[in-house]
A and B are shown apart, each in its own frame.
Chain A
Amino acid sequence: MKEINLMPQNDFLVEAAKNGDSIAMNQLVKLWQKRIFNFALKYFGDYDMASEVTQKTFISMSKNLKSLKDVKVFKSWLYRIAANYCHEEVRKSQKRWVFPFMKVQSKEDQNHIENTLAISKEDNPEKTMGHLELKSLLQKALSQLPEEQRLVVIMKEYEGLKLREIAEVMAISENTVKSRLYYALGSLRKILEEWNVNKETVHYEL
């Protein structure tokens, strides 16, 4: 879990940006762009869509920050904007086509993963599972979670939000957050087991 220790600076910047300080607004974006981009990237597994959502999020932020009443809830507020844009993008793209990772076709996916593993083994026996392979595997695993579980896992595991903050972002009860996390972690554990990805293989092969 990554603890992000930027709260004092953050609150100060939020307050200043709220009062129309464009430099503070700029600094605020700089402070948060990596987080929001990575949040969206883990959600979509796609750079372009992550960029789009990040951009939209900060445009919305700079336009609506004035209406934010409590500086303390800035973080949840910002993630809520990002999560809403993520959801909107999925909805829009579902109208166009089904996402590769939204498809329910575990067998094919499994074959695909096995194939990639086999090929990479032949290519480089010394380093069977490099960072890139592991990353794409983990992304694939995340993508198999239902949307609301995926959001919760990303916010908890990678963004380090408190359970209470996630509840705020998603406008659900804290207990619902916990139970979604419980099921999400269970599903991820199963997926990794099926793909034979565990502590030993990861550590051994890294």
Chain B
Amino acid sequence: MNYKPTEEDLIAYLYNELSNEEKSKIEQYLTQNPEEKERLQALQATRMIFNQYEDVEPPIDFSVTSVESNSNSTFWQKYIVIAATLLILFTMGWLSGFQVKYNSEGLAIGFGELNQGLTQEQVAEMIYNDQLELLEYVQANLDANQDSLRNELANMQASLDPTDLVKQAFELEKEQLLGEMNELNENLGSDYREILRQIVVNFSNNIQSQRIEDLRGIQAAFTDLEEATIGKQFEIEEALEILSERIDAVANNSNNNK
């Protein structure tokens, strides 16, 4: 017999998912091929061992109420959070008047009234006008400067006399100086004057007392001198007496010797 079942057929046989006809065909084949039968029996034994791996009870109840309430709450929480965020964003946008507009003329984003941007021609015209204005202003300034320069030149030419110029300058300086002095005088307010007066009085008082001290010193010096002079006078008188006595003695001696 040339019939040889495929691996797939053998598996179907092993799991008893064959028609009776196919089944008997394979059984016949297996009796004729004991080594194939043995292999299949080994697989069957393996299945028997794996059949010892028994089911366990699930640790929790997954029934819909709990699942649904769980999932729903988390889903709803998620949606509520998203909705709240969007609401806050929209409210903030609305309060700040945030607007975005997009049309053929381009994208416009802004707060408050949204003005459509200027067209290219308008911008170009604005720039042109601005440049024109600037040019006119520069021109006018240049003209004014030129005029003033011309005037000054004319004035200088008119008053070319040097003595007059010097006099004029001198008078000017003098007036300025006088003015400054007057100003200074006026600036010295009554307070300032009082302080000055006080300083002067203090100073003079000091001088007075100093002078009296000095005079006393001089008087003392004179008294000392006087006393010293009198002392000297006595000394000289004494010395004169001694001298006269000695002279008398010498005179007597000489008289005796004669």
Contacts and interface: CB of A to CB of B under 8 A. Distances in A.
B60 A51 contact: yes
A199 B64 contact: no
Contacts of A1: 15, 51
Given A38-B55, A188-B46, A29 B11 contact: no
Contact of B49 (A28, A62, A158, A202): A202
A26 B11 contact: no
A173 to B, nearest CB: 10
A33 interface: yes
A38 B59 CA distance: 11
A107 interface: no
A163 B17 contact: yes
Contacts of A62: 64, 67-68
Contact of B50 (A22, A38, A157): A157
Interface string B41-78: 01101111111111111111111110110110000000
Contacts of A142: 50
Interface in A148-197: 153, 156-158, 162-163, 175, 178-179, 181-182, 185-186, 188-189, 192, 197
Interface in B124-167: none
Interface in A113-141: 131, 134-135, 138-139, 141
Nearest to B53: A138
A54 B42 contact: no
Given A58-B67, A182-B11, A189-B43, A29 B62 contact: yes
Contacts of A185: 11, 14, 43, 46-47
User: What's the interface size class on A, roughly?
Assistant: 35 or more
A28 B61 CA distance: 12
A84 interface: no
A172 to B, nearest CB: 13
A42 interface: yes
Contacts of A156: 15
B121 interface: no
A198 B49 contact: yes
B10 interface: yes
A55 interface: yes
Interface string A53-70: 011001100100000000
Contacts of A186: 43
A25 interface: yes
B10 A182 contact: yes
Contact of B11 (A51, A178, A198): A178
A199 B61 contact: no
B239 interface: no
A186 B47 CA distance: 10
A151 B19 CA distance: 26
B8 interface: yes
A99 interface: no
A77 interface: no
Contacts of A139: 53
A35 to B, nearest CB: 8
Contact of B61 (A33, A163, A206): A33
A12 interface: no
B243 interface: no
B7 interface: yes
B12 interface: yes
B61 A178 contact: no
Given A22-B64, A199-B48, 4 more contacts: A62-B67, A139-B53, A189-B46, A202-B52
30 contacts: A1-B15, A25-B64, A26-B64, A33-B58, A33-B61, A38-B56, A38-B58, A55-B67, A59-B71, A62-B67, A134-B52, A134-B53, A135-B53, A138-B49, A138-B53, A141-B50, A153-B50, A157-B47, A162-B17, A163-B12, A178-B7, A179-B8, A182-B11, A185-B14, A186-B43, A188-B50, A189-B42, A189-B43, A192-B49, A197-B49
Interface of B: 7-8, 10-12, 14-15, 17, 42-43, 45-65, 67-68, 70-71
The 4 closest A-B pairs by CB, nearest first: A178-B8, A37-B58, A178-B11, A189-B46
